[in-house]
Amino acid sequence: MKNTNDLILAPDAIEKMRIAGKLASDVLVMLDAHVKEGVTTEALNQLAHDYIVNEQGAIPAPLNYGQPPFPKSVCTSVNHVVCHGIPTDNKVLKDGDIINIDVTVIKDGYYGDTSKMWIIGEGSIMAQRICDIAQKALYAGMSTVKNGSYLGDIGAAIQDVVEPERFSIVREFCGHGISNTFHHEPQVMHYGKKGTGMQLKTGMTFTIEPMINQGTWKTKVLPDQWTAITKDRKLSAQWEHTLMVTDHGCEVFTKRDEEDLSFLIA
Ligand code: MF3
Ligand code: CO
Ligand code: CO
C-alpha cells in the first residue's frame, strides 16, 4: 500500500522507469516481424522471454506472477480474449485474427508495462475498427493527463471516444499505478466523470490500458483462473502505455518510434 506522497517518484526512480519503459516498448517492436499467420502464441512468448532475459538483462514480470502463478512471460490475447491470455503451442494465429501482446519488464527493480494490437492479414472492417478505436481511446485518456487533472478525466475522455462508436468498455480490469511494484494505487478506471477521483500530481506514474469490446462489456475468467474472455465471445481490443504526470502533460515511458504522440504536451 502506498500513500499519496509515495506515488510521486524521485528523480532516480524516474530515470529507472524511463529505462524499463523503453525496454518494454522495444520488446513489442522486436515482436512485430514475428506476429504473422501460422506462428503460435507460445513461439511469440519464447521470443519475448529470450529477448528480455538474454538481450535486455531484464526480468519478464508476468512469469510466476500472482496466484495461481501466471505460467508465461507475456500475455497473448486473441479475438474474444480480453486480457491475460496464456501463450500455448496449440494457438496458431490465422488470417483475420486480432491479437494483443502485453509485455511487462522489470529492470533495476522498476517496471515498464505496455501492449498493442496486431491484425493478422487485412482483417474484417470490424476488426480494424475495434483496434483503431481502442488505440484512440488510450490516446484520448493520455491527453487529459497533467498536474492537477483528475483520474475521472481519463475515464470520461475514453468514454467520449468509445461510446459514440457503440463499443463497450470493460469494467472489471483497469490501469494501475506502477513503479517498483507491478500494480499499486491508484486504480485507473477507463470510464468516469470529469473532475472526480484522485487529483494527479507531477511525478506520479501509472498505466492506461482500456479494453474495448464489440458487444457486452461483461467478461468471464476461464478455469485456468487467468484468461479473461468476453461473455458473448465477440471481439475485444486493448492498448496500454506506462506514463508519468508532468506539469503540463505527461511523459510516455513506453512510446514506440512508430507512434506520433505530438498531440501530447510534455
Ligand atoms: N500486464 C498486465 C497489466 O497490464 C498484467 C499481467 S499479469 C499476468 O496489468 F500475470 F497476467 F501477466
Ligand atoms: Co498494466
Ligand atoms: Co500490461
62 lines ligand 1 (CB under 6 A): yes
Q: How far apart are CA 173 and CA 171, in angstroms?
A: 6
Q: Is residue 232 part of a domain?
A: yes
Q: Is residue 162 part of a domain?
A: yes
**Helical (H) or strand (E) element with 154:** helix 151-162
Chain-wide mean pLDDT for the chain? 98
> For the purposes of burial, counting CB atoms within 10 Å of the CB of 103, is it exposed (0-12), middle (13-18) or buried (19 or more)?
buried
pTM over 0.95: yes
**Owner of C-alpha cell 507512434:** 259
Q: How far apart are CA 64 and CA 110, in angstroms?
A: 17
Q: How far apart are CA 137 and CA 132, in angstroms?
A: 9
Q: Is residue 240 part of a domain?
A: yes
**What mean pLDDT comes out for the span 140-159?**
98
66 lines ligand 1 (CB under 6 A): yes
Residue with the smallest CA separation from ligand 1 atom 11 is 84
Q: Is residue 157 part of a domain?
A: yes
85 lines ligand 1 (CB under 6 A): no
CATH number, domain of 143, equals 3.90.230.10
Please name every residue paired with 230 in a beta bridge, in sequence order, or none if there are none. Answer: 219
Q: Is residue 264 part of a domain?
A: no
Q: How far apart are CA 198 and CA 155, in angstroms?
A: 12
Tens of pLDDT, residue by residue over 209-249, are: 999 999 999 999 999 999 999 999 999 999 999 999 999 99
Residue 103: domain span: 4-252
Q: Is residue 126 part of a domain?
A: yes
Q: Is residue 263 part of a domain?
A: no
pLDDT of residue 212: 98
Tens of pLDDT, residue by residue over 105-122, are: 999 999 999 999 999 999
Q: Return the closest-CA partner of residue 99 out of 173, 28, 26, 171.
A: 28
Q: Is 212 left (phi over 0), alpha (psi -120 to 50) or beta?
A: beta
Q: Return the closest-CA partner of residue 219 out of 84, 99, 111.
A: 84
Quick check: 2 pLDDT over 80? no
**What mean pLDDT comes out for the span 67-92?**
99
Quick check: 1 pLDDT over 60? no
CA of 170 to the centre of ligand 3 (A): 15
The number of domains in the chain is: 1
Q: Is residue 227 part of a domain?
A: yes
Q: Which of 59, 67, 104, 209 to mutate to test the pocket of ligand 1 (most atoms within 8 A of CB)?
A: 104
**What mean pLDDT comes out for the span 250-261?**
98
